[in-house]
Amino acid sequence: MKTKLVYIIRHGETDYNRLGIVQGSGIDMPLNELGMKQAQKFYDYYKGIKFNKIYTSALIRTQQSVLPFIEAGYAYQATEALNEISWGVFEGKPQSEQERAQYWSVVNAWKEGNYHAKIEGGESAFELQMRQKSFIQYLKGRNDDCILISMHGRAMKSFLCTLLDLPLSDMEKFEHSNLCLYLLNFEEGTVEVFKHADVAHLQA
């Protein structure tokens, strides 16, 4: 990949995050007040970085998470390739104990290598990764030195596995919280993770 530095953030907090309700790709929930404050804190901390371009998913919560950069004039592009995984029938509603168990059974199936497991009406880990690969190939063809990507928790796990050439069964190694940062350096065919789920900017 020609890009040298890749900053990847998960979006800030939404009301559904606070309530523990799955959003997935089908719920376009905006950031709540805390989420907007998190976005501003990230901007204040990293506004000195000269990003060549900013990429977001097509969902508003990722766009609002980098809104201060966009308002400052940074070039950005929204793409559905970065959307969260679809959680199908579980999206946008509280889950029963039985539904929560089913959710975790799918996640555990991925950990065991069954990447085609999915929630009814949703996407599998394999389908998510295939959607992301076209965007990764697009990034590899660009000459940018420094980019910022704003995306989603599960999508980030898959994205990082693909960038680091790891199996999707390793997704759970990449923990995340609202407006956390992963910073990756690509140089001479090698990839190094400089920051892992970092939230120093939220504590500044």
Minimum mean pLDDT range among 66-80, 104-118, 179-193: 179-193
The neighbouring-strand residues paired with 150 are 9, 56
Mean of the per-residue pLDDT values of the chain: 96
84 in catalytic set: yes
Number of domains in the chain: 1
Report the chain's terminal Cα–Cα distance, integer Å.
32
Give the chain's length. 204
- Rounded to whole angstroms, the Cα distance separating 70 from 64 reads 9
Catalytic residue chosen out of the listed positions 84, 123, 152, 176: 84
The residue range of the domain holding 101 is 5-203
Region 146-175 average pLDDT: 97
User: Is 152 annotated in the active site?
Assistant: no
What does the block give as tokens for 78?
């929204």
**Single pTM value for the model:** 0.96
Residue 27 has pLDDT above 70, yes or no: yes
48 CB contacts (<8 Å, ≥6 apart)? none
CA 196 to the chain's CA centroid = 13
Beta strands in the chain (DSSP E): 5-10, 53-56, 76-78, 146-151, 181-187, 190-198
Mean pLDDT over 59-72 rounds to 98
Closest CA to 178 of 65, 54, 95: 65
Q: What is the CATH number of the domain that holds 62?
A: 3.40.50.1240
Q: What is the pLDDT of residue 28?
A: 98
- Which of the following is catalytic: 11, 91, 152, 176? 11
